[in-house]
Amino acid sequence: MGLLLVLLIAVSMCTQEAECAFGDPIDDKVEDVRFRKVGRAYVDTFNIEDNTVDLSIVTEDTIGVDEIWVVDFEPYDIIPNSNVIDSNTGDVIPENSGECSNILNGGTFIQDTFSNGILFNDDNNITPIQYTEADLKTLPKKLFMSYSRGGFVDVVDVYNENVTRREYQFGFSGDFEFFFNCTNRLGNSIWSYDGSQRLIEFKATVYFTNVRPVVNTDGTKGMSYVSSSANLYYRIYRIAMVNFILSSQPLVKPSIDFVIISPYVPVEGQMPVANAAKLEIRFRTTIESPTGELLIFEADSIEYEPEDNNNTLNEDFEIAYPSGPQPCDNVGTCEQLWNFELVLDVKEKVVENNEPIDATGIFRFKFKKHQCSDATTSPTGCVDLNEPVLTISMEVTIQTVVTVVDSETDKPRLVIVSLTGFQNDNLRLTNGGDVRGVNHRERVKYKISYTPEFLYSKYGLRLTLFMVCKGVSFADEPEGCLAANVEDRYIAYYHDDFEFSYLSNVSTTVSYNTNSLSDDPWSPYGDNSTQQELRFNGPDPTNEDIYRMDFINTALSMEREYYVITTVFKLVPKENTRRRRGLLDGEFGGETTLILNAVPAKLDHHIKTRSIEDSIDDPADMNVPFEFTGCPANTHFILDELECECTEQHQQYSDSTFQCENTYWVDDILDETEDTTAAASCTFVQILSLILPYVLSVIIIV
């Protein structure tokens, strides 16, 4: 009877719960809908300009739901049993969060009236307030300066249900170094570091944690939470441009091998010094050496003359340079290889995304000439010839390009390596220093590289448009030269696949494609005798990580003008990219591999966020300004032909000296007794042998 009674009770309980019979299986899966109506959290703004960072983080509070958002730069449970919300009492404990979290004030969950936790409800989540950087030095938290509430917004969520939310915004606007020095509760920097020779990358992860009480009237019943995160990247791209290298003695011929700018890391595995750069310079010297002459570097003789006096050669750090005589590679003519590693203190000035910081300076290296009994292999028997000290000088433009992104809106970005003329000198307009203008019909080399590096192995670049226009203002236009009038621009190359669009300031999409270029006088099947064109387009022959475009600049006016180059690229999967190199002095290449691009249209975080992989299909543009010198004296400009024509009789424009050169009719220089019919097939003879050295010397001085 006792057993039967127990069975009857068991059947009765099951019937009340689920109309089941004794022995039926019971589903152990429980649907948890506690966070079904959780709002979003995201990085609204992250930008660095002039060493000031603007950071804005938004969390969405769901009205009518007890919750609190914890924004921190460490995981919510980084230290076990030490969470910012005590799971046993529901108390808010600010010291259990990182020093740069948004949890400024604490409080207990249980109130005198045994009501909800005061910091969990809609009215008391945050207190709107504004602090200064000075205030932060006295507060327990050191990052967020502003706490603000938005208005109420009715939305339809992913479950097609109507919910009301309110945005809470946490912001910081101040010295980037202040933000960069944030640490977590373990005493570690919130920034992790990864570096290579071309790129320095710092990453900080911001965690958004939504915490809710299990029983919203009692903190002793425990807490539950969900977390998400976003990565913030601070990327510094370091490149160097060598504008010239010369010797104080003309008999010594120096040539540059490379200049590499990289982060300076005093101890391997540690963080780099924030405002220092390691500079590696390698160059060669060649002198005549009939009796064993060679050069020896004068120790501690390196000089650095910066354009900006805030940049200095740091002598406290180790400087590596060659000591003793370096062997000659050849007999009779001594070629020596020199490798120097220096450390520079670079003025900390962070500018707009993808705009370079120029730390240009002149480096001088001093040498003495010696004579050795054996100048090769391991030079021996060397004596000082007591000749004047020889100085090798070079101007190096150090460019630090900063890219600051939230990982959800990260995009491929281009950086400019160089824009050089026929003498390989810098032609790019910068904020400091004089840069000579570009001559009519001068051959110009334009080199770019890209970031981030992790896309190198997956995607190649297709150049779809190369356009030049007059008017420096077009460098600031999102479409660059596409906004210029047809008569003020020319196309050097475009691809059938060309298309480009951007979001205007009135939230209207503006699009361009090949039809937009129908009025431009250019044909893909023309040549350089009928139109402007690229002379070379493809990976640089000496470094395939650099993309190179060569063109011959064509005048668009008679006067000195500022010009802009606009290039538009499209990324293509590497396995679908055909490689075809252009000939340096002939046809230009077609589709190529490598290189990415920059200047993306701004995304609306409130509509959608996308990963960098999602942005690959977007064409993007880059604009770079330079100055055109105008047509030279004694010329006039022919608009229909976009040419500078010499006005003096017996003169024509030279593509090598960029001036009007004297020419003479053959009949004028032939002896009267000679048969002039033999010379009838010739039209001109240029007499250059006397005037060419003079013209070249003038150009060098300029």
Residue range 6-64, pLDDT digits in tens: 333 233 233 333 344 444 554 555 455 678 788 889 999 898 876 788 999 999 999 99
- Rounded to whole angstroms, the Cα distance separating 634 from 556 reads 17
Does residue 281 surpass a pLDDT of 80? yes
Give 43's DSSP letter: E
- Rounded to whole angstroms, the Cα distance separating 473 from 430 reads 14
**pLDDT, greater one: 425 or 687:** 425
Q: Is residue 574 a contact partner of residue 593, using CB atoms and an 8 Å limit?
A: yes
Read off the pLDDT of each residue in 533-551 and give the average, rounded to a whole number.
82
18: part of which helix (H) or strand (E)? helix 2-18
Q: Is the pTM of this model over 0.85?
A: no
Determine the pLDDT at residue 4.
33
Does residue 279 surpass a pLDDT of 80? yes
Backbone angles phi, psi at 604, to 5 degrees: -90, 110
Tell me the three state secondary structure of residue 402: strand
In degrees, rounded to 5, the angle at the alpha carbon of residue 286 between the alpha carbons of residues 284 and 288 is 165
**pLDDT, greater one: 352 or 630:** 630
Q: Is residue 343 a contact partner of residue 276, using CB atoms and an 8 Å limit?
A: yes
Read off the pLDDT of each residue in 523-552 and give the average, rounded to a whole number.
75
**pLDDT, greater one: 611 or 400:** 400
Q: Is residue 343 a contact partner of residue 279, using CB atoms and an 8 Å limit?
A: yes
- Rounded to whole angstroms, the Cα distance separating 433 from 627 reads 13
Determine the pLDDT at residue 15.
32
Tokens encoding 643: 């040419």
**pLDDT, greater one: 429 or 138:** 138
pLDDT band of 144, cuts 50, 70, 90: very high
- Rounded to whole angstroms, the Cα distance separating 680 from 675 reads 10
- Rounded to whole angstroms, the Cα distance separating 237 from 200 reads 6
Q: How many CA atoms lie within 13 A of 244 on its CB side?
A: 10
Percent of the chain with pLDDT over 70: 75
Read off the pLDDT of each residue in 381-390 and give the average, rounded to a whole number.
93
**pLDDT, greater one: 290 or 220:** 290
Percent of the chain with pLDDT over 90: 22
Determine the pLDDT at residue 646.
93
Read off the pLDDT of each residue in 671-700 and give the average, rounded to a whole number.
28
Question: Average model confidence (pLDDT) for the chain?
Answer: 76
Read off the pLDDT of each residue in 612-641 and give the average, rounded to a whole number.
76
Q: Is residue 223 a contact partner of residue 213, using CB atoms and an 8 Å limit?
A: yes
Residue 149 exposed, middle or buried by CB count within 10 Å (0-12, 13-18, 19+) = middle
Determine the pLDDT at residue 131.
92
Determine the pLDDT at residue 9.
29
Does residue 237 surpass a pLDDT of 80? no
Determine the pLDDT at residue 525.
58
- Rounded to whole angstroms, the Cα distance separating 397 from 490 reads 30
Q: Is residue 104 a contact partner of residue 141, using CB atoms and an 8 Å limit?
A: yes
Determine the pLDDT at residue 93.
95
Determine the pLDDT at residue 496.
83
In degrees, rounded to 5, the angle at the alpha carbon of residue 600 between the alpha carbons of residues 598 and 602 is 150
- Rounded to whole angstroms, the Cα distance separating 328 from 420 reads 32
- Rounded to whole angstroms, the Cα distance separating 304 from 258 reads 18
On the question of a cis peptide bond just before residue 452, with omega within 30 degrees of 0, the verdict is: yes
Q: Where is mean pLDDT largest: 140-154, 428-442, 564-578? A: 140-154
